[in-house]
Amino acid sequence: MTGERALATRLKAQAYAVGFDLAGITRLGPADSAANFDEWLGSGYAGTMKWMHDSAELRRDSTRPVAGMRSALVVGLNYGGTLPAGSVARYARGDDYHRVMWDMLGTLGEWLHEAAGGTTRGFVDTGPVLERDLARRAGLGWFGKNTTLINPRLGSFFFIGALFTDLELPPDAPFEEDRCGTCRKCLDACPTDALTAPRVLDSNRCISYLTIELRDAIPGPLRGPIGELVYGCDICQDVCPWNVSFARDVALPAMAPHRTVANPDPAELLALDVDAFRDRFRGTAITRTKRRGLARNAAVAMGNRRNPDDVPALARATADDPEPLVRAHAAWALGRFGADPLATGALRSAMAAETDAAVRAEIAAALVAANESST
């Protein structure tokens, strides 16, 4: 075994030792999926994620983000696909995975520097890197029809990270097979039809995008299909046969669900002010939505579950919430209660006091919807 290959083997062993579940090495260079990425951007499927366009040139070639880098250790970290389904996607229930994985990659970078010198840089989801492309090239799995990377021993419930280095490390064989076959369970299960074709995701329709990345109003036709999900969505992964057979329990304590996060009551979420939101979700990925986004999502969930006990909370939000975005979605939710006199009364009272044009339009539409449902 050559010195470089021995070093690569030891590095991967260290990756498993610090807690990663998958590890492989690839050379940096032009992304195999660059053309597909450009087509995806050109179709408008990135939605409002402007940074995808801004960083496109860097993403097309993994040698571009950090000058002088030659190889990457690509890792996977399981986040518990066996956990029960809930209103919060499984990946967001534990500690913020960015910080957890950055620390783990930092430990690996220190080990590599001590063992062989050179410099390193860790990437976890936020850098201008097509991590999924690197992971396939490092042998970690194939692109599933739901667009996630699927590993034949782990399924797809895992994060991807990469440790770039200026050392020349021998690469692992890329994963060349497509093991989805004729299965289309993920495409058929998506409630918003976000998977427009195998391996093509329209973010504008994806529940994860709508509840996390979108900062504006959720389009009216998509609110109902969201159901009671308040942060992210696991549906296309839940139905995947590879996850049904091979998903694993959480092993790393940092990924274990926080008690107050796994399946919160949307009425409690709607009632949180900014300080309470920060206190409750500090250290988790849920802070990405900010309070206004999570409250918006909670209002939609309450409108979809149509529990009469939610009407007073929705009425208060429609009248008093400091965010027009939340007032608008709370009004929509009240309209889902039909001719309920408390709901319609709250809408009329809110209309009399509301000055924001967008919120007034939502209230008016909700009153029309309530009237139509009663006739």
Question: What is the β-pairing status of strands 200-201 and 195-197?
Answer: antiparallel
Element (H, E) at 163: strand 158-165
Query: Which of 109, 137, 110 shows the shortest CA–CA distance to 123?
Result: 109
Query: How many other C-beta atoms can be found within 10 angstroms of the C-beta atom of residue 249?
Result: 11
Q: What is the DSSP string of 253-297?
A: GGGSPPTTTSS--HHHHHH--HHHHHHHHTTSGGGGGHHHHHHHH
125 classed as catalytic: yes
Q: How many whole angstroms separate alpha carbon 324 and alpha carbon 318?
A: 9
Which burial class, exposed, middle or buried, applies to 365 when counting CB atoms under 10 A from its CB (0-12, 13-18, 19+)? Answer: middle
- What are the tokens at 222? 């998509």
- What are the tokens at 330? 């709370």
- What are the tokens at 121? 């840089």
**Marked catalytic residue, from 95, 125, 166, 172:** 125
In terms of DSSP H, where are the helices of the chain?
Answer: 3-18, 34-42, 50-54, 56-59, 97-116, 131-137, 185-189, 207-208, 220-226, 235-238, 241-246, 266-271, 274-281, 290-305, 311-320, 324-335, 341-353, 357-374
Ramachandran assignment for 283, one of left (phi > 0), alpha (psi -120 to 50 degrees), beta (any other): left
User: Which residues are catalytic, by number?
Assistant: 125
